[in-house]
Chain A
Amino acid sequence: MSDMPRRPYRVAIVGGGIVGLFTAYRLLRAGAGPVVVLERGFLSSGASGRNGGGVRQQWDSRVTVRMMREAVQEWRHFGREFGTNVWFRQGGYLFLATTPAEVTRLRQVTEAVRAEGLDGRLLEPSGALRYAPSLSLDGIAGATFLNTDGTLYPFPGVWGVYEAVRALGGEVRLGVEVTGVRTEAGRVVGLSTSEGPVDAAAVVNAAGGWSGDVSRLAGLAVPNVASRHEILATEPLKPFLDPMVIRLADGLYFSQTMRGEVVGGLAVPHPTGTRAGVPTSPAFLRSMSRSLVRLIPALAPVGVLRAWSGYYDDTPDGFPVIGEDPRLPGFFHANGFSGHGFMLSPASSKRVAQSVLGEKTDLDPALFSPGRFLDPHRRGEAEGLQPG
């Protein structure tokens, strides 16, 4: 097919997940000019349709706490702005520690959270029961809780931003694969796609787990790694659990959705990636079930309804990559979200749009810039709080 009109775009965005769509929305709202989003699959076919819906502000680094605090406000008002309900429910995030070292770790997180003006609380093990009465406290040494964290239903987020982009005149092309990045005189001039060339003054790589591939199409070496994570949903039950619960020791995370299902996974990548296309593995079902039943023994008779997998786009330091690549003018990164792209998207997309438009952002270049991995002497502080 070659019916794609050959019109010059101001910005072409690779990836129609929540990051790409939100970026398009911000650019259109800022009057950036024609914007096109190119999605290889269908809407929500990638991680935007496969994540657990967690939204939290408890992080090691204060800059992430700040950006997430902003994202929480955006999610709270999403329905009014976009017309669809993500059902962002602020049931809190309950982190559980099993060792003194983990308790120390959680204390540091709570200090960062409180320093940003949020009501993070360090709890005795028994205090966790107040927020999740069905837990077994066996082996739990401490906990933190932040009541304004929460969970959302990801799909309506995708539909809402998609419709808003289209209403603002943005184009979203589904089923179009990017096959190359076109450059002239060392500068991006567009993309090659399965449906012909696209002319664009700027390209945003928001391809999630495939962003490393897209960067390599542009000849750019990047440290992004796609890691496969598995997740499952149980049969729907009446509400019994308000917060997202995370156990640091094994990366277990789970919450009960608005539909009643318990949805969760283990924040360790499952090393069966060589079997391409495998939705999930018996090993995950076994280890996830063991982990969940240990923490909530009453769930033992509850059935697993389905299990699936998706790709995180991991960076070595766990921080996202936002901004123009210093090696290729016109090529912008909005990737490397390391499993937290959906929750951050309302806030991160503002910075992406600002950098595309040449405006100043409030992002610390040492933490977010694409160039940070090019410095051989760099010592990044790892964003270690990975699960959920």
Chain B
Amino acid sequence: MEPDPPPPPPARPAGHGSPPLTRSTRYHRPRAPFCGVGYCTNCLVRVNGVPNVRSCQYDAAPGEVVEVENAWPSARFDVLAAFDVLFPQGIDTLRGFRRPAFAVPWYQRVVRRLAGTGRLPNPSTARAPSPGRLVTTDFVVVGGGCAGRAAAESLVAAGHRPVVLEREPRTSPVPGAEWFPGTTGVFLPPPRAEALRPFELIARRSDGSALDLRARRVVVAVGGYDASLWFAGSDRPGVLTAEGAERLRPVERPGFDHAVVFGGGPRTLQILERFGNHVEAVVAPGAIDPDVARRASELDVPLFPRTLLLGVVGRRSVRRVRLAPRGGGQPAFSVEADAVVLAHRRLPHPQLFFQAGARMEWRPDVGAYGPTVGPSGATTVPGLAAAGESAGAATPDRARASGVAAANAVLAGGGWPAPDPSPPSALHHELEGYYQELLSTGPGPGKVVVCPCEDVLLGEVLEATERGYRGIEVIKRYTGLGTGLCQGRYCLPDALLVLALREHRTPREVGYITQRPPVVPTALGALAGLPDDPEAAA
């Protein structure tokens, strides 16, 4: 007897895949998962009395207590969302709330209560620091993706036993390597040249402990991530990065029915291959790659090249996406969609290189900073090499080749191959012209929350520049942009481009984005459990 075919999935309302999971800090705007990789603040929940747990990175077991944060009575309906409605232009905590004098302490109480996300952990969660480990080795490979695996395999083939740190908890180890799953390198200070093992690397583990690694040589192959974009409602539930779309997919179907995909390059092609039947339109800031166009036409997906994404309509979910052809002259229009997938820009993770003191350079192709590297992936820091996206290798094949090259670089004794100084090249990124038009057109109704972690609005950034504050470091301190839980990953790259426009300078002149450790938030209890410094004891 034939088994019954599985029942068709029940019809779900638009935006079904992204009900609000939490509320934002200042305006209590509804938020649902965005990045899917544990960086953004849109999926924070309280688990067993511990605040600010990223639900996309946590598998709750039956019996664990998961609570909504920063919302009352629920994430779907939150009374304090009144602040979002009452203050359409935002709350000016810098210059407002100064009069009358007798009310200032009262303002203080209100503003203070609007800040912050989770509550202090329950006292019952208090425990002794999680004991960490000291690991001494010759070679550390940070990242176990294509490039990191290739580097580790080369090191094993050369007779070594490298330590590999891999962020994902469930991955298959490279045979012969010492494999640390669920482990993220968070702090790599500049090496001490005189030491036997010049590098000290602090890593965070998924069990709540930390590692203190001492190594002779380090290969960093930490890859990249899909960037955000500034538009009205870019923080709304249903707006996702490409990674978010890939990772947050329920088992049998994506978290959306008809998405607008933003971007015209290889990442969009991947999204089309994977979710083609659920894509409503492809919108790109510039031209659309021929292979993307070909695949889209096979799938009957309309293309909108050279188009501004002005904003999304919908409060708790995306209902429509407002678009406008670039170049002016043609009216804005909108398409029905229940999600926006941002697949236009992939950025390398620069933190460990910056911390280690490597020379960084502006990469106009991606519109971001990365380490200056030689052909082998060698950085300007002797003993430190880059592989994969960190070294500019965008495809898996090139990533593997760069992993092998980086392994050879760290294996080579003697002199460290100094990279050539980068030739002067185009300093502007395609998105600068895009943002120029977006700002002159105006994104239309709704808040443009450029820093969702701290609910910083585009208007606040523009006002700061109008007052004469210049440079990314000053704007960051003036607006609070980039100081939240994602540590600036999703706002500072675009801020650099927009400030370049406003200040009539190149992004490089606007400044470098300082990367303060740790790379990802690391529990006090994990850091407290780090072993005593063996060198200090000796």
Contact = CB atoms under 8 A, between A and B. Distances in A.
Interface of A: 42-45, 49, 77, 79-80, 83-85, 87, 89, 134, 155-156, 159, 163, 174, 234-240, 258-260, 275, 277-283, 285-286, 288-290, 292-293, 297-308
A235 B485 contact: yes
A298 B52 contact: no
Contacts of A42: 470-471, 473-474
Contacts of B483: 259, 306
Given A258-B111, A282-B202, A307-B517, A289 B123 contact: no
Nearest to B117: A236
Contacts of B125: 298, 300-301
B527 A289 contact: yes
B187 A285 contact: yes
Given A237-B116, A277-B357, A306-B487, A159 B94 contact: yes
B522 to A, nearest CB: 5
Interface stretch (B13-21, B284-292, B407-415, B528-536): B528-536
Contacts of B101: 77, 80
Interface string B476-505: 011010011101000000000000000000
Chain B interface category by residue count: 35 or more
B116 A236 contact: yes
Which one of A234, A235, A280, A300 has the highest number of Cβ atoms from chain B below 10 Å of its Cβ?
A300
A260 B115 contact: yes
Nearest to A154: B477
Grouping DSSP codes into helix (H, G, I), strand (E, B) and loop, the B interface class, with mixed when no group exceeds half, is loop
Contacts of A163: 467
B254 interface: no
A37 to B, nearest CB: 15
A239 B108 CA distance: 12
Contact of B127 (A87, A159, A290, A297): A297
Given A280-B517, A282-B530, A44 B485 contact: no
Contact of B189 (A83, A240, A278): A278
Nearest to A134: B120
B99 A80 contact: yes
A279 B355 contact: yes
Given A42-B471, A239-B112, A302-B51, A279 B516 contact: yes
12 contacts: A80-B99, A237-B116, A237-B117, A238-B115, A259-B454, A277-B190, A279-B516, A282-B212, A297-B123, A298-B122, A300-B524, A307-B517
A303 B521 contact: yes
Contacts of B121: 298-302
Contacts, number: 198
Contacts of A84: 94-95
Nearest to B468: A166
B297 interface: no
B112 A258 contact: yes
A226 to B, nearest CB: 19
A85 B522 CA distance: 31
Contacts of B126: 297-298, 300
Which one of A159, A297, A303 has the highest number of Cβ atoms from chain B below 10 Å of its Cβ?
A303
B484 to A, nearest CB: 8
Interface in B209-224: 212
A235 B521 contact: yes
A282 B187 contact: yes
B295 to A, nearest CB: 41
A85 B97 contact: yes
B82 interface: no
Contact of A293 (B113, B473, B516, B528): B528
Given A79-B98, A298-B126, A234 B474 contact: no
A42 B202 CA distance: 31
Contact of B112 (A89, A306, A308): A89
A306 B516 contact: yes
Query: What are the 4 A-B residue pairs with the smallest beta carbon separation, nearest first?
Result: A260-B116, A303-B521, A300-B525, A297-B126
Contacts of A43: 469, 474
Nearest to A282: B202
B253 interface: no
Given A85-B97, A258-B108, A285-B527, A304 B487 contact: no
B189 A289 contact: no
Contact of B516 (A159, A258, A308): A308
B364 interface: no
Contacts of B111: 87, 258
Given A299-B524, A307-B517, A239 B113 contact: yes
Interface in B89-137: 93-99, 101, 104, 108, 111-113, 115-123, 125-127, 129
